[in-house]
Amino acid sequence: MTNKNAEQSTTNSNEILPILYWVLGSIWAPITLPWIIYQMLGTLHMKYKRTNLNSKVVLITGASSGLGEALAHAFYAAGCRVILAARRKNELERVKKDLLESHQTVPTHVPIILPLDLTDLPSLPKNIETVLGICSQIDILINNGGITSRGNVLNTDLGVYEKLMLVNYFGQVCLTKAVLPSMVERKSGHIVLISSVQGLIGIPNRSAYAASKHAIQAFCDSLRAEVAEHNVEVTVVSPGYIKTELSLNALTESGSKYGRMDENTAKGYSAEYVAEQIVRAVVEKKNEVIIAPPTARIAVYLRRLLPSVYFWIMNKRAKNEV
Active site residues: 209
**Residues 6 or more apart in contact with residue 86 via CB below 8 angstroms:** 61, 62, 63, 64, 65, 68, 92, 115, 116, 145
Q: Contact 139/186 with Cβ under 8 angstroms? A: no
Non-local CB neighbours of 79 within 8 Å, separated by 6+ positions: 51, 53, 54, 55, 56, 106, 107, 108
Q: Do 108 and 58 form a contact (C-beta atoms < 8 A)?
A: no
- Which residues lie across from 130 on neighbouring strands? none
Among the residues of the chain, which ranges form H helices? Answer: 2-50, 66-77, 89-102, 124-135, 158-165, 171-186, 207-227, 263-266, 271-283, 294-305, 307-321
